[in-house]
């Protein structure tokens, strides 16, 4: 089995919200690390996307070798900046004149 990456947005007093599941290839073979910024997945074409900052990671190695390890990632959401929105839309941010 492959490593599962579960991303949980913080949800105020409720703790964490429902998770989204990914695999390592969804992140280009890199595990999300504390401080990394993730453009909110599955929101292409939506004008008000968010950026998630990785706050904490929890490793759950599973019961044995290659037996379905899981990385739980807690993220904090915020609105995208104009430059981040341009990245999300696949555009280069405008250069100053």
pLDDT per position as a tens digit, 62-87? 776 666 788 999 999 999 888 888 77
As a residue count, the chain comes to 97
Identify the pLDDT of residue 73. 95
Mean residue pLDDT of the chain comes to 83
6 confidence band (pLDDT: 50, 70, 90) = very high
Identify the pLDDT of residue 60. 86
Identify the pLDDT of residue 34. 95
- Averaged over 39-59, what is the pLDDT? 84
With residues binned 3-state (H G I as helix, E B as strand, rest as coil), the percentages for the chain, rounded to 5, are: 15, 35, 50
- Averaged over 34-59, what is the pLDDT? 86
Residue 7: count other Cβ atoms within 10 Å of its Cβ: 21
d(Cα 4, Cα 1) in Å, to the nearest integer?
9
Instruction: Give CA 85 to chain center in angstroms.
Output: 16
89 confidence band (pLDDT: 50, 70, 90) = confident
Please report which helix (H) or strand (E) contains residue 84, including its range: helix 82-88
- Averaged over 37-60, what is the pLDDT? 84
Query: pTM above the 0.85 mark?
Result: no
């Amino acid at each position: 089995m492959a490593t599962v990456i579960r991303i949980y947005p913080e949800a105020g007093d409720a703790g964490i919200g429902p998770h989204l599941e990914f695999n390592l290839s969804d992140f280009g073979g890199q595990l999300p690390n504390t401080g990394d910024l993730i453009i909110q997945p599955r929101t292409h074409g939506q004008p008000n996307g968010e950026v998630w900052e990785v706050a904490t990671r929890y490793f759950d190695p599973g019961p044995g070798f290659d037996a379905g390890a899981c990385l739980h990632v807690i993220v904090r959401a915020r609105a995208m900046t104009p430059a981040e929105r341009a990245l999300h839309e696949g555009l280069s941010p405008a250069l100053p004149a």
